[in-house]
Amino acid sequence: MRKVLVVIDMQNDFIDAALGTPEAVAIVDAVKDKIASYPATDVFATMDTHGADYLQTQEGANLPVEHCIKGTQGWQLSACIAEALDSAHIYEKPTFGSVALAQDLKALADEQDIEIELVGLCTDICVVSNALLLKAFMPEVRISVDARCCAGVTPEKHRAALETMRSCQIHIEG
């Protein structure tokens, strides 16, 4: 059984910049250690990626805080995470979930038995979106989330997202 890791949006704006939180800062080392525990070929990552027109998008109207604008410092992966992800398959995504990532992992699952583990930011937005998207694409693949390597917009929303994923048969570790 091949186990793959998906690292969600470990970008500066979500850690300690525009939308950062103390909880996000606190998981960086744990995420770095988690990445190191996997072979580089089994690590996939996403990057929230917006354009200069972000505030004119539906997301921007609902969350009017510019973040992860491609090419900015806030869009960049945290330096230690970027170093750890050196050989990872990285997907830029304009919204919460990455269909391209789900399609590629489904193709992998069609070739061999896999398990998928997710970590990253934010538990209640992009982590839950990608976990549910992956579950929809691959209902028989075991999908887990390491709660120790995730942080939500608030601790309460983090816990609520974990419960939502648990209800949808995504295994919650930690």
Strands (E), the chain: 2-8, 43-48, 89-93, 114-121, 142-151, 171-173
Confidence of residue 88 (pLDDT cuts 50, 70, 90): confident
The confidence score (pLDDT) of residue 23 equals: 98
Higher per-residue pLDDT: 86 or 28: 28
82, 76 contact by CB (below 8 A): yes
pLDDT, averaged across the chain: 97
Contacts of 151 (CB under 8 A, 6+ apart): 21, 23, 24, 26, 27, 121, 122, 123, 158
**Helix residue ranges, H only, 91-143:** 99-111, 128-137
Does position 89 have pLDDT exceeding 90, yes or no? yes
CA atoms within 13 A on the CB side of 45: 29
Residue 28 DSSP class: H
Summarize the confidence of residues 53-79 as an average pLDDT. Answer: 97
Which pLDDT value is given to residue 74? 98
Q: What is the pLDDT of residue 11?
A: 98
Q: Quick check: pTM over 0.75? A: yes
